[in-house]
């Protein structure tokens, strides 16, 4: 399919999930993937026909695993599983979040180890490619189950979906789209709710945001550094090479690029012995955050390429095994999201310290609160308050979710990852960080304009020009909230390659 993404023959990356979930790229599976799925389903049917007993195929679920079911009850079990597990509460996931979960589910099923039918995977792909999005409550998961249950119900024509700008009954959307409701067979209800697609799909989107935020933090930080006439010796290449952190080297290189050929900084050398840590430690702090991002993306990519169902079906029709294990646990994704949350909270914390220096005339050398007539104008005074508030909230959101634990399913599931909660709070934290960096972008741009524009580095000048396309220079007080929103929109709309 032209311009599309195909999975099934090569390792997957989180970027591909983000591309499909947030864009219009259609998703297909390779012929090899369809053959694996078909073989896995054939083994399930063989087990049923042979009268063998296997967990999840012809038994009850969880604590009911020792109850054996008759063949005529198996489809009803799958339907009942989806109905009973679809009990999420709270605000709905947004469209991209739900689509990312579906993507991760398709990746899981593409291994052919879940025993799910090709028809159900085809229905999931149809939902993605036609942009039929189930309405999924965001709360209620200890790691898996509820979110995918709501998606599974929509495949059956139960519940509501968004489609073509409307929210409508799933059955109506299926009919209008020319799709038939699925009837889940043996094991398929369990396969639809099981595994780690929920936390993994959400984590892929969080990585997509984090990658952009890491890049923009270097840019807004460089703008603040130049506006405050920082001492560039702290970014010296030979000095930074003495600490073997890949993230540090990367951020240090970017900062040198952004500030290269700044006449203002050249003329400012020696105005102070050293800068405050929020300025001179940017390579170390931004770099440490990048190193944690690198770790998190390895963990998420590993999970994205894993079989995370329980039980898993392996072998052939002549030599098969159904193995109960714990691949749906999701500990690694939960930890990755928690670690990345700490890193992104720190990225915001150091940005807030920089923007606080910009508005403080005692340390900035600039007019108070970045207006030429302070007193009659409050300027950027309260924007710093907002950034401080968001940093305080991020500190709460950076508390690890994985350390919580509860007992579910009558002692059968007595250790939980809370990975979906970890991913969702990381999404909230990233949203706050966009606002913090948007405020720094706004304030740093204002600070730079108190210097002669022709003395600025070409990189920071380009970043300033991008903002000025939508946000004019601040002279007298005006409604500030829309200006912050425009600055955040600029961060989301532009890649930093445009200023490097």
Tell me which residues are annotated as active site.
55
The 10 Å CB-count burial string (b at 16+, else e) for 228-254 is bbbbbebbeeeebeeeebebbbbbbeb
- Each as own residue / partner, the long-range contacts of residues 362-370 (CB below 8 Å, 24 or more positions apart, any chain) are 363/228, 363/276, 364/227, 364/228, 364/447, 365/228, 365/229, 366/227, 366/228, 366/447, 366/450, 367/450, 370/443, 370/446, 370/447, 370/450, 370/474
Give the integer Cα–Cα distance in Å for 37 and 217. Answer: 43
Q: Three-class SS of residue 414?
A: coil
**DSSP secondary structure string for all residues of 216-249:** HHHHHHHHHHHHTT--GGGG-HHHHTTS--HHHH
Kindly give, in sequence order, each residue whose CB lies less than 8 Å from that of residue 22, ignoring residues fewer than 6 positions away. 96, 99, 205, 208
Per the listing, tokens 């990585």 go with 207
Alpha carbon of residue 477 to chain centroid: 36
SS3 of 55-115: CCCCECCHHHCCCECCHHHHHHHHHHHHHHHCCCEEEECCHHHHHHHHHHHHHHHCCCCCC
Q: Measured between alpha carbons, how far is 4 from 334 in angstroms, rounded to an integer?
A: 30
Distance CA 159, CA 86 (A): 10
CB 163 within 8 A of CB 169: no
Do the beta carbons of residue 156 and residue 183 sit within 8 Å?
A: yes
Helix, strand, coil share of the chain (percent; to 5): 60, 5, 30
DSSP letters for 17-45: HHHHHHS---EEE-HHHHHHHHHHHHHHH
CB atoms inside a 10 Å sphere around CB 260: 13
DSSP for residue 203: H
Query: Which helix (H) or strand (E) element contains residue 315?
Result: strand 312-315
Q: Can you tell me the distance from the alpha carbon of 436 to that of 390, in angstroms, rounded to the nearest whole number?
A: 7
């Amino acid at each position: 399919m032209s311009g599309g993404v195909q999975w099934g023959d090569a390792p997957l990356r989180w970027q591909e999930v983000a591309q499909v979930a947030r864009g219009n790229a259609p998703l297909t599976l390779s012929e090899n993937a369809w053959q694996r799925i078909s073989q896995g389903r054939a083994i399930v049917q063989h087990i049923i026909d042979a009268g063998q007993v296997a967990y999840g195929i012809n038994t009850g679920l969880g604590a009911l695993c020792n109850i054996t079911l008759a063949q005529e009850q198996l489809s009803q079990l799958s339907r009942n599983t989806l109905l009973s597990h679809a009990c999420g509460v709270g605000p709905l996931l947004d469209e991209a979040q739900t689509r990312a979960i579906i993507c991760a589910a398709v990746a899981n099923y593409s291994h052919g180890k879940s025993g799910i039918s090709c028809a159900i995977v085809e229905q999931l792909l149809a939902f993605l490619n036609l942009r039929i999005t189930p309405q999924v409550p965001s709360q209620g998961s200890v790691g898996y189950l509820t979110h995918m249950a709501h998606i599974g119900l929509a495949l059956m024509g139960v519940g509501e979906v968004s489609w073509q700008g409307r929210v409508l009954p799933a059955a109506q959307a299926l009919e209008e789209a020319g799709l038939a409701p699925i009837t889940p067979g043996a094991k398929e209800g369990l396969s639809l709710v099981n595994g780690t697609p929920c936390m993994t799909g959400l984590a892929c989107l969080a990585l997509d945001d984090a990658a952009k935020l890491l890049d923009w933090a270097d840019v807004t930080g460089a703008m603040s550094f130049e506006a405050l006439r920082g001492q560039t010796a702290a970014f010296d290449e030979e000095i930074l090479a003495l600490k073997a952190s890949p993230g540090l080297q990367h951020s240090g290189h970017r900062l040198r690029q952004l500030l290269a050929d700044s006449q203002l900084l050249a003329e400012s050398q020696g105005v102070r012995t050293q800068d405050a840590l929020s300025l001179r430690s940017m390579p170390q702090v931004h770099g440490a955050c990048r190193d944690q991002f690198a770790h998190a993306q390895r963990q998420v990519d590993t999970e994205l390429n894993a079989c995370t169902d329980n039980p898993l079906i392996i072998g052939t029709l002549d030599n098969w095994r159904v193995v109960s294990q714990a691949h749906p646990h999701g500990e690694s994704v939960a930890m990755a999201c928690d670690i990345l949350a700490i890193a992104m909270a720190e990225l915001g914390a150091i940005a807030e310290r920089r923007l606080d220096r910009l508005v403080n005339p005692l340390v900035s050398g600039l007019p108070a609160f970045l207006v030429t007539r302070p007193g009659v104008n409050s300027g950027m005074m309260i924007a710093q308050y907002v950034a401080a508030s968001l940093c305080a909230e991020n500190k709460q959101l950076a508390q690890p979710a994985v350390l919580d634990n509860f007992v579910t399913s009558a002692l059968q599931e007595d250790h939980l990852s809370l990975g979906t909660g970890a991913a969702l709070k990381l999404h909230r934290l990233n949203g706050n960080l966009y606002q913090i960096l948007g405020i720094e972008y706004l304030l740093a741009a204002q600070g730079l304009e108190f210097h002669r524009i022709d003395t600025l580095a070409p990189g920071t000048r380009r970043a300033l020009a991008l903002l000025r396309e939508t946000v004019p220079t601040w002279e007298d007080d005006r409604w500030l909230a829309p200006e912050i929103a425009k600055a955040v929109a600029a961060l989301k709309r532009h890649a930093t390659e445009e200023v490097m």
